[in-house]
Structure 1
Amino acid sequence: MQAVKNRNSSINSIVESVFDKDAANFWLQKFNPLWSFNQALGKIINKDQTAVDTVSLTIQTNKKFKLGEAGQHHPVIVTVNGRCFERTYSLTQLDVDHVLLTVKRVDQGIVSNWLIEKAQLGDVIEFGQPYGDMLLPQPSSPLLLLAAGSGITPMYSLIKAALKSNVSTPIQLMYWMKHEADAAFKAELEMLAEKHANLKVQLFHTQSEHPDSRLNESYLNQVSNLENTTVYACGPSGFVSTAEQVFKSAQSFKSEAFSLSHLASDDVGFINVTLTKSHKTVAIPKGQSILVGLEQQNIQPTHGCRMGICNKCACNKAQGSTKNLVNGATNTEPGHLLKICVNSAQSDLTIDL
């Protein structure tokens, strides 16, 4: 049996060495846009407006697509004006061949604006491998889901998966948005809460006529048994940082920030960053992410989500001090794994890039 496996592996290696995958994909997609030798592809077959500045795309996937677990994210790769852009989104499974991609408009967001305004039925997009550890807890425990804005998308996926698997432990969703019209999945979430006694859904509008307060310690009064509860938070970094402080006594806390809020900072001036593999030293602004600073110097490090989740931009920090732009934590230790998309340089820095 091992001999057969070795022979098949050798044959595959020979085929791949002489077979141009890009050429194969080009000709395969002349017959069917979803056919591919090695790409996970999806075709948009339906497009719905689910909230203000939010659309949900129903996507038919090909056989190369492997859906992650509920709560995980997928790199989504689209071509806009001849250039490929990668962004990260949470998907919801509809059936074995279809997923739901929900997109909220981001100011000056190239990909979100294209998906909302320009994407048409029949357009094909590419997916990367899923990642993220904000999964249904095992073993089951009470689950508190905190969402702000488009942070609802992984929470929606988690709720659907939990109810589908007949999880009977309490699930509480607290969802903040500016106005009622901004609430994605509102009708379905309320319907699910009526149908399932273990699901509680609370929606908060921070800019309505009678606004609800933003997340703060007063909301602790609406949560019971926190010390035995798993808490997940997803939203802007300021929201996530506040959630971590408010719910610090939870049994477990995990979070994902999809955008960086500006932390109060007096950081000014420039920092020298030495790139050991590139043999370069460049000066970047002190208060912004290292990734953005390097890009402004026409250096293009490998990156993916730009949220500190996928680890594609992570590299070793040989020397220097950095600040996490999500929670404000500083690190001065050498030999530290550094996510350059969510950290700024606080001193002259040496990193292995």
Structure 2
Amino acid sequence: MIKETSDALTLVLSRTDADRPTGFGYRPGQFLTLEVPHEEQLSVARCYSLSSSPDSDDLPAISIKRTEHGYASNWLCDNAAVGLTLSALPPAGTFVPSRWDRPLVLLAAGSGITPVMSILKTALATHDQHVTLIYANRSPQSVMFADTLEELTRRYPTRLTVTHWFESERGLPTLDGLSDAIPADPGSDAYLCGPAAFMDLVRDALVTAGIDRDAIHREVFVSIKTNPFLGATTHVSNDAEPNKGTPVTAEVAGTSFSFLCPPETVLLDAMLSQGIDAPFGCREGVCGACAFTLTAGEVEMRANETLGDHELEQGVRLACQSVPISDTVDIVIE
């Protein structure tokens, strides 16, 4: 356990599985869904981004900031200690660079730095592009990973540029101020995480600086309302008839499955009803844990609170919200 600031900490994790006692596979920018104890509800589920890098850190880690009226975050800040055991779903999320051959512009506010740090450390450790980080906070005292950022700046003086924006000194971020800090390289990829108003402002600043809208990627934090740890209920259409439905081929973690998806049934429910171990979290179109790539056919998504235009253009969809609308459908879940 590492204390980052007076109200934020990093929890370094290891598996309790007898056959895999240390880490687990994940990609930079992904998150974990944790089960946090609760006296009245047994438990609650919350998503926390991994701040570690699979390419430079021995063990995975999540970073948590105390929030007003935030039960799970506050419970962890008050109760986390060496030896604490928590249940977690597999790493998930689409806030992951799909290419590493372009300069990176990373923009974060407050605890939004968490997934950005994972991307930043991976880029520096395993690639050779230039990385620019613009990090907004209320004051120097609220900067998470301050020591790590200083050490990385010393280690990569020609590849990493860090610009801090302190509200206590400059007020809230402005379009002009952010535009001045963004490097004039239209070939960059941008990743941003923070409050919605901050990301809207950052997006406008990036576009003003000449960065293509398709190269701008946002991470959206929304509290999930359901708890996948208390059991999942599938909702297969009552009108479903045996041997009726859309033929689906699904590749899940390298294993292929074929099944029929009943009418008006989302793909996740159809897979779970077939005993397929498909990943999921919120089941609300919010967390992105059930994201898949549509390789053939068409689906209609009932809701989407996490995928951006870039992911949608690449064929990424959410299994918990997708209903087939073509004769056949092929999907891939990594």
Aligned to 1:72: 30
1:247 aligned counterpart, secondary structure:
helix
Which of 71, 76, 88 is residue 47 of structure 2 equivalent to?
A: 88
2:13 aligned counterpart, secondary structure:
strand
Deviations 1:310-333 (A, max 9, x none): 1669x9677xxx997999xxxxxx
Following the alignment from structure 1 to structure 2, what is the Cα–Cα distance between the partners of residues 71 and 131?
Answer: 9
Following the alignment from structure 2 to structure 1, what is the Cα–Cα distance between the partners of residues 70 and 284?
Answer: 13
Matched, 1:145 2:103: no
| Counterpart AA for 2:200 | S
Aligned to 1:192: 152
C-alpha distance 224-93 of structure 1, shift in aligned 2 (>3 A): closer
Contact 1:215 1:239 in 2 (8 A): no
Contact 1:235 1:259 in 2 (8 A): no
Identity rate, percent: 22
Aligned to 1:103: 64
Deviation for aligned residue 1:257: 2.2
Following the alignment from structure 1 to structure 2, what is the Cα–Cα distance between the partners of residues 305 and 189?
Answer: 36
Which of 235, 253, 258 is residue 194 of structure 2 equivalent to?
A: 235
Higher-strand-fraction structure = 1
Which of 49, 58, 70 is residue 12 of structure 2 equivalent to?
A: 58
Deviation for aligned residue 1:159: 1.5
Contact 1:51 1:182 in 2 (8 A): yes
When normalised by structure 2's length, the TM-score is 0.63
Following the alignment from structure 1 to structure 2, what is the Cα–Cα distance between the partners of residues 242 and 312?
Answer: 29
Deviation for aligned residue 1:213: 3.7
Aligned to 1:127: 88
Deviation for aligned residue 1:134: 2.5
| Counterpart AA for 1:68 | Y
Following the alignment from structure 2 to structure 1, what is the Cα–Cα distance between the partners of residues 95 and 193?
Answer: 10
C-alpha distance 186-164 of structure 1, shift in aligned 2 (>3 A): same
Aligned to 2:165: 204
Following the alignment from structure 1 to structure 2, what is the Cα–Cα distance between the partners of residues 305 and 85?
Answer: 14
Deviation for aligned residue 1:304: 2.2
C-alpha distance 113-70 of structure 1, shift in aligned 2 (>3 A): same
Following the alignment from structure 2 to structure 1, what is the Cα–Cα distance between the partners of residues 82 and 62?
Answer: 13
Following the alignment from structure 2 to structure 1, what is the Cα–Cα distance between the partners of residues 238 and 58?
Answer: 43
| Counterpart AA for 1:202 | T
Structure 2 runs not aligned, ≥5 long: 224-234, 240-279, 292-298, 309-316, 322-334
Matched, 1:257 2:235: no
Contact 1:73 1:132 in 2 (8 A): yes
Contact 2:33 2:47 in 1 (8 A): yes
RMSD: 3.5
When normalised by structure 1's length, the TM-score is 0.59
C-alpha distance 139-180 of structure 1, shift in aligned 2 (>3 A): closer
C-alpha distance 135-171 of structure 1, shift in aligned 2 (>3 A): same
Which of 173, 178, 184 is residue 133 of structure 2 equivalent to?
A: 173
Contact 2:219 2:306 in 1 (8 A): no
1:239 aligned counterpart, secondary structure:
helix
Contact 1:50 1:185 in 2 (8 A): yes
Deviation for aligned residue 1:144: 0.3
Matched, 1:162 2:116: no
C-alpha distance 50-309 of structure 1, shift in aligned 2 (>3 A): same
Structure 1 runs not aligned, ≥5 long: 1-46, 261-274, 280-301, 328-335, 341-353
Deviations 1:135-176 (A, max 9, x none): 2342410000000111101111111111221x2211000001
More relative contact order, 1 or 2 (CA 8 Å, 6+ apart): 2
Aligned to 2:173: 214
